[in-house]
Amino acid sequence: MIQKLSLIACILSCVSILQAACTDEVVQYGGHYYSITNTRMTFNEAKQAAENSNGYLAIPNSEAENNFIKNLIGGNRTAWIGIHDPNKMTNYCYPGTECAYDASRFRDINNNVLSYANWNSYEPNNYVYIEDVQNGTPMVSPLGEHWVAMFGNSGKWADTGNHMQASPKIMHFAVFEFDTKPDCYFEDGSNIYEFEEVFCNTAIYDTQTQGLIQGVTHECQEDQFGTYYCPEQLAECSDHWEYDDGSSLIGYGSYTDYTNRTFTCPANGYLLSRSDHDACSYCYDLMRHDVHCNLDGSLNVHVYTIYKSNGALAYDMFNKRIASTQIHLNQASTYLGNYGNGCNFPFYYRRTCNASAGQCTHYISLSGSTCNGRDYTTSSTNPIPAVCTNGYTATSGAEAVNGECKKTVNYTYYDYICSNDLNEYGNEYIISDTGGDCGGTGLEGGSCNSATPPEDNCKRLNYMCQEAPDRKCASVDGSMQCSPFPCINSDAIQDNTAAFNANQQNNDGWNENGGCDGQIYIFAGDGARCISWELGGITDCCGDSDRLLGLSSCKSSEKMLAEKRESKMCHYVGEFCSKEVELGFDDVCVQESEAHCCYNSMLARIINVGAKAQLGLTFGTPESPDCRGFTPEEFQRIDLSQIDLSEFIRDIRNDANVVAGSNTTNRVDSDQVIQEQLHENINNATINMGNNIGTRLDNHFEGL
């Protein structure tokens, strides 16, 4: 029983194909129109269905058109195209024999020689399997491979045919081509609303939304620095300085320092001069005056008496220290004090120096003495040497005019620099203190400045948006401005339709070779959606077809959905947020859509609604509708008597009464028309199904 139902369902999947080839969305390419069937069929059935719709199986005449058709087919699918062997040549390729691979036998469906071909490797081969011929008798018709199908993954072609090991009747999807616009083609308007790459809306702020319905969407503009800004309610930004210490680069310098020779005391207590005088003729001693220098530049004046007989110290009169750092300079007479031994007199000290000779004469003088016998004797004077010290060397020649001594002095210095990076507004740092070479005067191996730059030595002009401090300002009309409305990158929009067809279960009873061995679904439908609202005020595309046909903002699929809804072929599942954007403070819905399950007839829709309620099945959620039909096992469990078919009956009766008018005889005839239409619907849905599903439906409609 299950196997029989599987066959029934496989046949059911092809119902109405020959009557309505335009069951899917039609797309335009190169001035022609194309569609692909949603069910598999034989090559001849596909050829007839295309012709019934005033079209033909698609003919790829160029690589570009072939790629377009490949993309229309999609991955992991195979579809008939309009290439065949009309004469059904018999140059067969049998297992173990050499194949001819003769492509010249093929013509397009309009009997033209092929202008383009894209055969797969070892194709076309006109292959015949061992099982296809038994005892010399062909088991399939026609024998060989005379029809061409395209692989959706690669776009390559292969000749194919009926084979016993797969299926006596091979079936594929089919691509139709139309020279003129078919009735079911809906033009996509040039103004189909899509969010700009970067956009803003006057109802969306950084931390809140206000009145999304009334908000106006704008495309964000880009300034010369690549900054996007919303063109609404622009305001001037304020200046804002940013600071940095910067860095330093070391430099090296040197200069020649000049000075004169220095009179330097050789050692502490160095005797500069000594003088003796006889204080009195009757005395036994002499008065001695010594002048000594010290390393710190000071002088000691020592006055004492010695015995004439042996030069021994007789009496120490005084020892006076005179502080001086210029011992080589003249000094006027300086009073030292009153001293004497038996007589009282003042002492004075003075010196007379010859700088060029480096010599000084030191004098000790007495004034107003009451002593007798002033017999003075002056001893020798030791000169102070004048030399170049502290690393200085003597100059010579013309250089001596700069000084008697010279020395090379090395020093360091630091240049202060700022980063040359421009900020996001194209502004560079301005330096305050550049540092640099000071010339080195007065430096002894030191540095002109510090290696560490002054704090905040570099500053750069920045701008602040008063409405939103974190927002970057943009250059607009010669000034820096910003808007209270943030720019939103469309990449941040989350598309919630990814799972929309996750529950889609096509009637896949036929395999690629035409065999009926997959899972089949009876009265299967497709999910369809339309945009009911979108941020920025897009027109509602979920209205009736008459209104949508005049709207350039709605897609062709939405217009097709509107027609199916008017034909009562769709079931409303619900509304959901199809697009949203995360703004940090909240997820904001920017697009809402309606979800529907659409079927190939009103009857299929009614049976789905009633039967799913019986079986405890649902139509899923608006985000992921479940429009699948019924497995053969599920269909067996359906109680058709519990399904309300009044809508279907009423619709047929209304159509019949319109034809009948007010004539009684015509009304009698209309009842006959109703019965005929009922049976026609049943037959269309159950052709070649024997006494199973067809009988059940026929019995249920009897007497309605």
CB 159, CB 26: distance < 8 Å: no
> What's the alpha-carbon Rg for the chain, to the nearest Å?
58
- In sequence order, which residues have a C-beta less than 8 Å from that of residue 494 and are 6 or more positions away? 579, 580, 581, 582, 587
Boundaries of every domain in the chain: 2-178, 194-219+487-642, 241-259+391-464, 262-387, 645-704
| Token pair 């001693």 in the structure block, residue | 285
pTM listed for this prediction? 0.50
How many CB atoms neighbour CB 45 within 10 A?
A: 19
- 11: part of which helix (H) or strand (E)? helix 2-12
Strand partners, 541: none
Give yes or no for a contact between 267 and 295, defined as CB atoms under 8 angstroms apart: yes
Find where tokens 């199986």 sit. 57
How many CB atoms are located within 10 Å of the residue 202 CB? 20
With tokens 């970067």, the residue in question is 198
2-178 sits in which CATH class? alpha beta
Instruction: Assign 3-class secondary structure to 103-157.
Output: CCCCEECCCCECCCCCECCCCCCCECCHHHEECCEECCCCCCCCEEEEECCCCCE
pLDDT at 367: 66
C-alpha to C-alpha distance for 650 and 38, rounded to whole angstroms = 30
Q: Is the separation of the CB atoms in 597 and 521 below 8 Å? A: no
Which DSSP string corresponds to 336-394? Answer: EEEE-SSS-EEEEEEEEEETTTTEEEEEEEE-S---S--EEEEEEEPPPPEE--TT-EE
Is the alpha carbon torsion for 604, 609, 614, 616 positive or negative? Answer: positive
C-alpha neighbours within 13 Å on the C-beta side of residue 473: 24
Grouping H, G, I as helix, E, B as strand and the rest as coil, residue 22 is coil
- Res 19: pLDDT: 38
Beta bridge partners of 263: 386
Core vs surface per residue 76-114: b (16+ CB within 10 A) or e: ebbbbbbbbbeeebeebbeeeeeeeeeeebbbbbeeeee
Taking the CB of residue 428, how many other CB atoms lie within 10 A of it? 14
- pLDDT for residue 551: 47
How far apart CA 611 and CA 697 sit, in angstroms, is 13
Say if CB 384 and CB 264 are below 8 A apart.
yes
* CA pair distance 649, 627, nearest whole angstrom: 23
* Whole-number pLDDT of residue 703: 47
Question: What stretches in the chain show pLDDT beneath 50?
Answer: 1-23, 189-193, 370-376, 508-515, 549-552, 664, 667-668, 683-691, 703-704
